[in-house]
Structure 1
């Protein structure tokens, strides 16, 4: 079982090494990187490339680790007992399986994505240590122990919004997805927009990387945003000449696809104003 990328996902050599190392070690793969660099999509492509089904657990600020195991609905059971419902005699009727339980209980090996783990409380990763390490957990209401029938491939993503505990990090294989260089970005664009004119692509990507490197930028545009921008340029049938800017017009064409807050728009407007004054 070896991941080598897919036709719709450009995986660099170091990324495929990380995925295959995590699979071999049977450790969770912790993937960090800027938002929009394809961390979540990686899990989907690993599942596709290995021919496996995927279970996705999207983490929110209110998510608790217990929800990934199971939830016991004591309120519904109490209500049913008051109504004389026969279901009340079987506690299993009030236990809802979480994403980990579903992955553990699957008939075949699965890919389990735990997406944006850093959104949750700082104790969240620690609360999953034993379950991810031993691949089992105890259900107190029924007295049963749930063990993974087939150890899932666990991929965990983080946007680095908060530090993760050392004990959790020790149990993971770590990989940081670096932002693509120009040549890698061209390969990514070719997957999504094949046949784009070379001159338009070169001009657009040159502007894109200039924007990313602009000092004072609050939010750098990501891979997903440059793909959206190129899609708009193609839809408008623009060419390289249409993208040319002078000092008086620092904002790129259709800049709303790249700049996502007013501070960054104002930054480029100020740059244009200063350029006009210096003439």
Structure 2
């Protein structure tokens, strides 16, 4: 049987404590090969696991110790050798394993796509826009986005009296603790709704209600998998109403909904 050689491999972090990956092997004949994975953090091995690949590819899932921030995965492929005449301690024929290939895979950065401030703002917008009832109250032209590809510029002129305008504004950032491997920090966001109508029941309350309802799916549900490696909690802080007057409207109402996001950021991301 031809020797199995690792030809490609991918590694990703999910749910803060699990490594999920795939490994494709070049095996000319049908047979089994054992792929042994050594995951390292800061140069030290933290977990070793094995999976048997029948023929071509293997998918592996490795449970990590909480708080471990892996940086590399070393994939070692072992081929069976011998004629099966050896007997293990359970009385089952066993072949020896011989290492035939090695590949080092770098675990991708949690913030390779964007910094965590940008990702948090995108998460809040995505949560709101996924709600059909919320979208009916805030059409695209009434959403002011400060970052991202789908920017919505400030509406020209005065606010209309029919529909409110909404934006998400970054608030206070605070480092509240941490360990030798991660920083614990909180980032606040204010969801600001402004209406050009002094009647809150007609102009403000429907938007406030739909916004609070849409955000509950983020506050009360598990954090989306893509954010779980570092985002641990999103919670409501306050919701305040007030009168406004000036540039955006001659007279109107506004509401400010404050959120707090708790993050456990690996020190390797901040080095």
Establish whether TM, by shorter chain, passes 0.5. Answer: no
Kindly indicate which of the two structures has a greater share of residues assigned to strand. Answer: 2
Could you state the TM-score of these two structures normalised by the residue count of structure 1? 0.29
Could you state the TM-score of these two structures normalised by the residue count of structure 2? 0.30
- Larger Rg, first or second structure (1 or 2): 2
Kindly indicate which of the two structures has a greater share of residues assigned to helix. Answer: 1
